[in-house]
Structure 1
């Protein structure tokens, strides 16, 4: 799985982001510990979470 940037995440629907977050989580766990792939998936999940946070309704 490729790294998803914040800009790429902004172009996706909320449903797509949730699906991609799941894929990134699975890829993170499958990657060797401390590898570049694992770091990329961690960053991908962070970018997705940041984008989802901007879409959350305010309280």
Structure 2
């Protein structure tokens, strides 16, 4: 999976981000431990989750 940057995540809709998060999770689970693919998938998940959290209205 290609790394999803925070900038790229910001340009996507919330629905697209949820789909990308699922894709990143699956890529993380399938990648060998210690691989670049696993590292990129983890970084993508962090970037996507950070962007989703920034969109959530605070209470």
TM over 0.5: yes
Distance 2:14 2:46 in 1: 15
SS of alignment partner, residue 41 of structure 2: helix
**TM-score, length-normalised on structure 1?**
0.97
Q: Which runs of 5+ in 1 are unaligned?
A: none
Deviation per CA, 1:5-58: give whole Å up to 9, x if none: 000000000000000000000000100011011000000000000000110011
Question: 2:23 maps to what in 1?
Answer: 23
Distance 1:14 1:48 in 2: 10
Give the paired residue count.
59
SS of alignment partner, residue 7 of structure 2: helix
Q: Which runs of 5+ in 2 are unaligned?
A: none
**TM-score, length-normalised on structure 2?**
0.97
